[in-house]
A and B are shown apart, each in its own frame.
Chain A
Amino acid sequence: MIYLDLFLGFLKVGCFAFGGAYGAIPLIRDVVMSYGWLTDEMLTYMIAVSESTPGPIMVNLATYVGSSQAGFAGAVISTLAVVLPSFIIILLVTALLKTALKNKYVQAVLRGLKPCVIGIVLATGIYMVITNCFGKVTAPAVNLQALIITAILFGATAAWKAIFKKKLSPIMLIIISAFSGMLIF
Chain B
Amino acid sequence: MNILLDLFLTFARIGLFTFGGGYAMIAMINNSCVEQKKWITHDEMMDITVIAESTPGPIAINCATFTGYKKAGFTGAVVATLGIVVPSFVVIYCISMFLDNFLELTLIASAFKGIKIAVGILILDAAITMVKKMHNKKLPRTIMVCSCMAMLCINIFSVNFSSISLMIVAAAVSLTVFILNGAPQQKGGNGK
Label chain A's interface by main secondary structure. helix
5 contacts between A and B (CB under 8 A): A30-B163, A87-B61, A103-B191, A127-B151, A129-B120
Residues of A close to B177: CB separation below 8 A:
108
Alpha-carbon distance A34/B144, docked complex (angstroms)? 24
A-B contact count (CB 8 A): 366
Q: Which among B54, B69, B87, B116 is the interface contact of A110 at CB below 8 angstroms?
A: B54
Q: List the interface of chain A (C-beta within 8 A of B).
A: 12, 14-22, 24-27, 30, 34, 41, 44-60, 63-64, 67-68, 72, 75-76, 79, 82-83, 85-87, 89-91, 93-95, 99-105, 108-129, 132, 137, 145-146, 149-150, 153-154, 157, 169-171, 173-174, 176-182, 184-185
Residues of B close to A120: CB separation below 8 A:
147-148, 151, 163, 166-167
* Nearest CB of B to A100, in Å: 7
Label chain B's interface by main secondary structure. helix
* Stretch in B2-10, B18-26, B30-38 with 4+ CB within 8 Å of A: B18-26
Q: List the interface of chain B (C-beta within 8 A of A).
A: 15-23, 25, 51, 54-62, 65-66, 69-70, 74, 77, 81, 84-85, 87-89, 91-93, 95-97, 99, 103, 107, 109-128, 130-131, 134, 139-141, 143-152, 155-157, 162-164, 166-167, 169-175, 177-179, 183, 186, 189-192
Q: Is the CB of B22 within 8 A of A125?
A: no
Q: What are the 8 A-B residue pairs with the smallest beta carbon separation, nearest first?
A: A181-B114, A86-B57, A55-B88, A112-B174, A125-B124, A119-B147, A116-B170, A123-B151
Alpha-carbon distance A52/B184, docked complex (angstroms)? 49
Alpha-carbon distance A126/B156, docked complex (angstroms)? 11
Q: Is the CB of B91 within 8 A of A54?
A: yes
Residues of A close to B56: CB separation below 8 A:
14-18, 85-86, 89
